[in-house]
Structure 1
Amino acid sequence: MNVDPQHDTPHPLPTVALVGGGPGAWDLITVRGMRRLRDADVILTDHLGPTAELEKLCDVSGKEVVDVSKLPYGKQVAQSRINELLVRYAREGKKVVRLKGGDPYVFGRGFEELQHLAEHGIACEVIPGVTSAISVPGAVGIPITQRGVVHSFTVISGHLPPGHPSSLLDWAALARSGGTLSVIMGVRNAAAIATALIDGGLSGSTPAAVIQEGTTEAQRSFTCTLDTLGERIVSEGVRPPAVYVIGEVAGLRHHGG
C-alpha cells in the first residue's frame, strides 16, 4: 500500500499499467514502459506499436499475451470486452500491462480504460508514449513546426469523414488555422478531408506528405499537394497505419521513405 502524504490514507498500488508503445519501432518505447512489460504477468496488445517484436522488450515465456487488436475496417475486439479483461486479470492479482500504439491518450481510448478501472476500485498507472502524429513525420525529416514557418500544429483523427453526424471537427476552422495539420487514421477519408479543407479556404497547392508504417523497416513516404492527396494515396496503394501532414513544413527537404 502507498500512503498519501497529505491525508495519511492508504491507497492501493497500481496493478494495471496503460503503456504507450510508441509509433512502431520496438525500441521507441520508453524505458519505463519496457520495465512494466518485463514485470507483467499479462499483456493486452494492440496491432500497433511494438507488438510484433514484443520478445525484444521482455521474456514472454510465462506471460499471458492477449491480442485485443482493433484493426481499421477489420477485426474488432469490443472496448467493453477489453475493459472486462483488465478488471478480471487485476482482480486475479496479476500485474497487467495494456500495451497501446503511440500514446494512450492520443486517440487511444486510454482514459476510458482508466475510468473503467477506477469505477471498479483498481489503481492504474499511465505511462506516456511517443505519438505517431509527430514522430512519424520526424522520421522522414519533416518537422511538425519550424521557426519562421509555422507556430502551431493540430493532431486530427480522420476516422470519420467530413460531414459525418458524429464528427466533432470544424474543417473550415482547421483550414483557416495557419498551422500544420497532422492526420492519423485518415487513409480512407483522405480525399474527402482534402476537399473539405480546400472548401474551407486552404489552398489546393498546400504541400502534403504521406508516411506509411513510419519508423519501421516497411516505412515509405512521398510528398504531394493537398489537391492531389486523395488521388496519390489511392495510386500509391497506401494502407493503414499511415500519417499525413498538411502544411508548409511538408514541403521542406526531407529524407527517408
Structure 2
Amino acid sequence: MRGPTTAWFGTVSLLADFVYEGARSITGPLLASLGASALVVGVVTGAGEAAALGLRLVSGPLADRTRRFWGLAIAGYALTVVAVPLLGVAGVLWAACVLVVAERVGKAVCSPAKDTLLSHATAATGRGRGFAVHEAMDQIGALLGPLLVAGVLALTGNDYGPALGVLAVPGIAVLLLLFRLRARVPDPEAYEREVQAASTRSEPQAGDERLTSWWGSPTSWGLQAFGDGASATPSVMPSRGRWQSRSISNSAKVARTLKSIVGARVLCPPWQLPASCGGAQ
C-alpha cells in the first residue's frame, strides 16, 4: 500500500500544480484586462507570494498541534480549487485581486500538512525517493497547466473564462483523491507504526547470534600464538566491528584440542553456532 500511496500523493501534487500554475501563468494579463496597472499587478502578486510563504509559519504549527493533517490539506486545496475558476468570471478588479491572494493562502494552508502526510507515507519506501517522485510529478503539473491554459486561450480568442474554468476539472480530481486517501488511511502515523512493527519482527533473536566474545578477546590471540608457534604474532583485522584473527585454521585446531578441557561453549569457533560447535568431534 505504501508505494502506490506515495504515487497517489504525487498525482495529487501534479493535479494541484496543474491548477494553480496554470492560473498564475495568466495572472498579470488577467488583472491588466480589468484595469490594473503594472504597480497593482506587482503588489497583488507579491502579496499573494508573501501569504503563501509567511502563513506557513502559522499553518505548520497548527497542523502539529491539532494533528488534523488531512483536514488542513483538504481545506487548503479546496480554497485553491474554488478560487481559480472564479478568477475567470470576476468582473471587477478588486474581486480578482482577492481571489489571487486567496489562491495563495490555500497553498499556505495545505503545504505543511501535505508534506507531513507525504513524510509518513514514504517511511518505508524511502523519504528521499518518495519526495523525489513527488517533486517530479509536481513539476510535470507545473508544465502542463500553463500549456493547457495557453491552448484554450488560443482556441477561444483570449477568453479568460473558459481558460480558467477548465482548471476546475483537475481541481475536483485533487479533492476526490484526497478524500479517497483519507478513507484508506485516516491516521497517517499508521504508516510509521507499520514500518516500526516490521522492523521489530525482522530483528534477530538472541539465540540466533554467533558466539564472538571469545574470538575478540586476548585469549584468542594467545591460542593463536600457541597454535602457530613461539614466533607467531597475532595479526588482527576489523570485521563487522569486531577484531578477528587471520589464522582461522590454526585457532580452530587449538579450540578443538582444548574444548574438552575448558568447555566447548567457551572455545566455540565464531563461524559456528554454539549448538553445532558443541556437537563437533
Q: TM-score normalized by structure 1?
A: 0.23
Comparing both structures, which one devotes a greater share of its residues to helix? 2
Higher strand share: 1
- When Rg is computed on C-alpha atoms for both structures, the one with the higher figure is 2
TM-score for the superposition, normalised by structure 2: 0.21
Higher relative contact order (CA 8 A, sep 6+): 2
